[in-house]
Amino acid sequence: MDVVSPELNSLLPDEIMDTEAIVMEDVPASQPDGTAVQSESGDDVPIPMETDTPVVSENLSFCSDASSTEHTQALTTSTITDSMLSISSESQLPLTLSSASSSLLTLKPTLATSTATTKTTDSSASSSTQAVKQEGQKFLVRTIGKSGQPIVFQLPSTGSKPGVGQASGDAKSQAPQFKVVTIGGRTELKPVIGSTASQVPTPTPQVKTVQITNKTQVSSATPIKFIIANTVNSKGLTAQRSTNMQICENTVFCNLYHVILSFSLNTLSLLSLALFQNIKPLQSVAVGGVSGSQFKTIIPLATQPNVQQIQVPGSRFHYVRLVTATTGSSTGQTSGPSTSSIQPAKPMVVNTGAVRMSVPIVQAQTMKQVVRKPLTSTAQVVTTSHPQQRLIMPATPLPIQPNFTNLPPGTVFAPAPGGGNVGYAVVPAQYVTQFQQSPYVTLASSSGFPACSGIQSQARLPLNGLSTAETTSRPRKPCNCTKSQCLKLYCDCFANGEFCNNCNCNNCFNNLEHETERLKAIKTCLDRNPEAFKPKIGKGKDGESDRRHSKGCNCKRSGCLKNYCECYEAKIMCSSICKCIGCKNFEESPERKTLMHLADAAEVRVQQQTAAKTKLSSQISDLLMRTAPVISSGGGRLPYTFVTKEVLEATCECLIEQAKQAELSHQPQAQAERLILEEFGHCLMRIISSAGKAKTDCASINC
DNA sequence: GAGTTTGAAACT
DNA sequence: CAGTTTCAAACTC
Ligand SMILES: [Zn+2]
Ligand SMILES: [Zn+2]
Ligand SMILES: [Zn+2]
Ligand SMILES: [Zn+2]
Ligand SMILES: [Zn+2]
Ligand SMILES: [Zn+2]
């Protein structure tokens, strides 16, 4: 039984579904039965984000569980304040991991190159091991780490963390000059950004009094004094947002409860009975939807037998695969990432002859330094002067020369083995996810280098301003490009550094088959705007307070209260850098408040309805439990047994909820009545289903 | 679903 | 840099 139908969820616009904790906090009081409110805020583990100070890093320790034939690997993550990434592979399974930390990642071990023979006997293994060619073939893997030693990636300690205290690019960091800007009804101070030379964080003025001229359309030419207190948070306003939903007190529906209660039990029961006679006995409807798993979050941790990616719950990053292979010493049959059913259960102090790794291009804090740590001749950690991203890649010059720190998020350069002519595949974030099934040959042929080269597991940066849930769970909305070949920033897939997948685009070049063109397009975009693939929305640490659009919007007609506006779309308010006209997307905007109220209301409505349905279901199931013996003992009066006071009340709640909803959406009365009746039908069906289930159960017991 | 509106991206 | 065109998504009916 669907307690919460999928349709229900889709009823709401996104912004409602992603309501922030503030909204949620208001809710429980209005929950009719105290049903737990699902709130994402609770389990919001600090995740290293692309922004700001690398306050938190992750300690990942990976230990491939050799005893499992399924190749599942234990992954433990814990959040600590200092960063240490240790990897120990006890078998030659391909390990997948990455550090989602924002700290500089330093590879200590030295490199070696080795060959290994792999043997994949298991289809699932081969599908997940793109680095490995077909059965029995030799391949080269670049190795990191001395054989026989666990590889430890030591991240710099907190003390040496660069960029701590660096301002997040907010205007606050600028010298506190302001110019007066008046936009629509909003008078605003826009910081005058004179020269970009100084990025030195300027102490934030706590209170600044500026005299500006209000030249709003309201015609007031009176000078106003503005007190600008940067630290003032107007959360109070938000908190005031009422979620009181007792809005329909005064209508006909308010009497519904009594009306329905006045339904005699018999009437209801008769109605039920009539329907009950017709139901198929095997209509196996799960009674008591609460017992189902619809409220559980199923964490897809290591869902696939062969770990290619590890998805750490709560983390938006996919994790990078380390492919371990044997060194030359363990010649031949040490089985590499093979699936030979005999797993060496002994601790093999990392036979990590070969490790290839890539690191999610997370946004690190500003590090105005170039760190070049040549580990070997073939690989190094490169941290460019661009503060935000880093890659591990070969030292060989790139065939294309964009500032590779600005490549599309998740892009990984996969070095081809053998040094010399190194080819690169620029693979977007979702490559592994999107194309895990596709034959690896495709990549090899299209990118023109040996097939063994690719390890492209990669993380994806959070989408611009979108929530974690959206980023990680919700699949990207398919694009519909027709003219851009999905190689312009018009295409959201391309703009997010992803391949098109399940899109509706025509003439799409945003795929592996057109890697060349794609590369070229990426280069073009970067030439035009080096920041083209960086997230546009900075991510504030404390909720949304310092999130802002990097460029600001430029809206003219939407009032910045429609999804046309990038700020609004990202659920942030317009800021001083926006160049919008007639903006209504600022804190005190009454329009914005109205909108939020509506959103809140809708949110609460849905939750109440959900709660009501849950309650009904649980009561039915409860009833089922309690009355099962009675039924089996031979009573033929099922409907009477089931329509009890509790069920009746729960039904009423559902109906009232429906009534409220109808009224709130201003349905005409006839329509409202129809909706309520339909809901009543649904309720009845639930009751009947329960009864039917009970009956069949009893029947089967009796047989 | 077709048609319109919108503002970012691309282009000049 | 500004003005214009192109584009795909958001929105409306
Ligand atoms: Zn597209
Ligand atoms: Zn697409
Ligand atoms: Zn496409
Ligand atoms: Zn806007
Ligand atoms: Zn804006
Ligand atoms: Zn605006």
User: Integer distance in angstroms from CA A338 to C1' C9?
Assistant: 46
Q: Which nucleotide is nearest to A521 (CA to C1')?
A: B10
Task: Please tell me the number of the ligand nearest to residue A186's CA.
Answer: 6
Say what the pLDDT of residue A648 is.
75
Say what the pLDDT of residue A301 is.
35
- Which tens digits make up the pLDDT trace of A583-619? 999 999 999 999 988 888 877 877 887 888 888 788 8
A502 touches strand C (CB under 7 A): no
User: Integer distance in angstroms from CA A298 to C1' C9?
Assistant: 32
Question: Two tokens at A482?
Answer: 């027709």
Say what the pLDDT of residue A622 is.
81
Say what the pLDDT of residue A445 is.
33
CB proximity list for A282: less than 8 A, separation 6 or greater: A696
In angstroms, the CA A40 to CA A529 distance is 35
- Which tens digits make up the pLDDT trace of A382-426? 333 333 333 323 233 333 444 455 666 555 554 444 444 444 445
Say what the pLDDT of residue A521 is.
96
Q: Which of A265, A252, A274, A249 is nearest to A673 (CA)?
A: A252
Q: Which nucleotide is nearest to A481 (CA to C1')?
A: C8
N-to-C CA span, chain A: 26
Q: Which nucleotide is nearest to A482 (CA to C1')?
A: C8
Please determine, for residue A672, whether its predicted confidence score (pLDDT) is greater than 50.
yes
**ipTM reported for the complex, 2 dp:** 0.98
In this complex, which residue's CA is closest to the C1' atom of nucleotide B8?
Answer: A490
User: Integer distance in angstroms from CA A19 to C1' B3?
Assistant: 32
pLDDT tier for residue A136 given thresholds of 50, 70 and 90:
very low
User: Integer distance in angstroms from CA A381 to C1' C12?
Assistant: 52
Greatest mean pLDDT among A46-55, A212-221, A635-644 lies in A635-644
Question: Two tokens at A355?
Answer: 């490790």
Q: Which of A184, A13, A16 is nearest to A557 (CA)?
A: A184
A463 touches strand B (CB under 7 A): no
pLDDT tier for residue A577 given thresholds of 50, 70 and 90:
very high
Q: Which of A291, A462, A450, A456 is nearest to A359 (CA)?
A: A456
Distance A213 CA to ligand 6 centre (A): 20
In angstroms, the CA A37 to CA A34 distance is 8
Question: Two tokens at A516?
Answer: 């060349």
Question: Two tokens at A362?
Answer: 């997370």
State the Cα angle at A391 between A390 and A392, rounded to 5°: 140
Distance A548 CA to ligand 3 centre (A): 29
Is the distance from CB of A404 to CB of A413 less than 8 angstroms?
A: yes
User: Integer distance in angstroms from CA A488 to C1' C6?
Assistant: 11
Say what the pLDDT of residue A699 is.
64
Say what the pLDDT of residue A621 is.
82
Long-range contacts of A198-205 (CB under 8 A, 24+ apart): A199/A167, A199/A173, A201/A165, A201/A166, A201/A167, A201/A173, A202/A172, A202/A173, A202/A174, A202/A175, A202/A176, A204/A172, A204/A176, A204/A230, A204/A231, A205/A176, A205/A230
pLDDT tier for residue A447 given thresholds of 50, 70 and 90:
very low
Number of other residues whose CB lies within 10 A of the CB of residue A10: 10
In angstroms, the CA A328 to CA A220 distance is 82
In angstroms, the CA A491 to CA A316 distance is 22
Helices (H), A87-234: 123-128
Q: Which of A559, A153, A546, A579 is nearest to A355 (CA)?
A: A153
A583 touches strand B (CB under 7 A): no
In angstroms, the CA A698 to CA A633 distance is 9
Q: For chain A, what percent of residues have pLDDT higher than 70?
A: 27
A492 touches strand C (CB under 7 A): yes
Is the distance from CB of A314 to CB of A43 less than 8 angstroms?
A: yes
Q: Which nucleotide is nearest to A14 (CA to C1')?
A: C10
Distance A203 CA to ligand 4 centre (A): 29
Is the distance from CB of A435 to CB of A500 less than 8 angstroms?
A: no
In angstroms, the CA A30 to CA A608 distance is 8
Listed residues: CB within 5 A of ion ligand 3: A 486, 500, 503, 505, 508, 510
**Pairing label, strands A57-64, A84-88:** parallel
A490 touches strand C (CB under 7 A): yes
Covered bases, chain C (protein CB within 7 Å): 6-11
**Pairing label, strands A106-107, A95-96:** unpaired
pLDDT, greater one: A544 or A136: A544
Distance A400 CA to ligand 4 centre (A): 35
Distance A549 CA to ligand 5 centre (A): 7
CB proximity list for A626: less than 8 A, separation 6 or greater: none
C-beta within 7 A of nucleic chain C, residues 466-485 of A: 477, 479-484
User: Integer distance in angstroms from CA A561 to C1' C4?
Assistant: 26
Number of other residues whose CB lies within 10 A of the CB of residue A670: 8
CB proximity list for A157: less than 8 A, separation 6 or greater: A82, A83
Task: Please tell me the number of the ligand nearest to residue A549's CA.
Answer: 5
Give me the half-sphere count of Cα atoms (radius 13 Å) on the Cβ side of residue A177: 6
Covered bases, chain B (protein CB within 7 Å): 5-11
